[in-house]
Amino acid sequence: SQQGEEDPQALSIQEGENATMNCSYKTSINNLQWYRQNSGRGLVHLILIRSNEREKHSGRLRVTLDTSKKSSSLLITASRAADTASYFCATTSGSARQLTFGSGTQLTVLP
């Protein structure tokens, strides 16, 4: 079963705008990761934030984590058409080694 829910399910923006995607999860976590999946392709790891961290940056990506609200957000600044993809949050919990994924946000960046 899915651990989390992404919000919105779909997002369409113009190139150059910022895109914000949210993820909520249900159980306490060890870390939370964001992945990108281009249509018909595998998942690519973007960024990881640990449960004791609140914010992390990587290039045009900014991730925040609020463990009290069991939620995370991914901000992509100055979006490009190449950012068009599905974005998934994924968590690890307890001693389980596997990732538990949310349902994803489909981002479309219009040129």
Partner 1 sequence: GAGVSQSPRYKVAKRGQDVALRCDPISGHVSLFWYQQALGQGPEFLTYFQNEAQLDKSGLPSDRFFAERPEGSVSTLKIQRTQQEDSAVYLCASSLLALGPLSGNTIYFGEGSWLTVV
Q: Find the binding residues for partner 1 in span 5-64 (CB under 8 A).
A: 30-31, 33, 35, 40-45, 48, 50
- Say which residues have a Cβ less than 8 Å from residue 26's Cβ, sequence separation at least 6: 3, 4, 70
Least CB distance to partner 1 at residue 106 (A): 9
Using CB under 8 A, count the residues that bind partner 1: 27
User: Is residue 72 involved in binding partner 1 (CB under 8 A)?
Assistant: no
DSSP 3-state of 15: coil
User: Is residue 111 involved in binding partner 1 (CB under 8 A)?
Assistant: no
Tokens representing 30 are 């060890």
Tokens representing 38 are 């281009």
DSSP 3-state of 86: strand
Q: Which is nearer to partner 1, 40 or 111 (CB)?
A: 40
Alpha carbon 15 to its chain's center: 19
d(CA 103, CA 31): 18
Candidates 11-19, 56-64, 74-82, 89-97: pick the segment binding partner 1 (CB under 8 A).
89-97
User: Is residue 104 involved in binding partner 1 (CB under 8 A)?
Assistant: yes
Question: Site residues (CB under 8 A) for partner 1?
Answer: 1-2, 30-31, 33, 35, 40-45, 48, 50, 88, 90, 92, 95-104
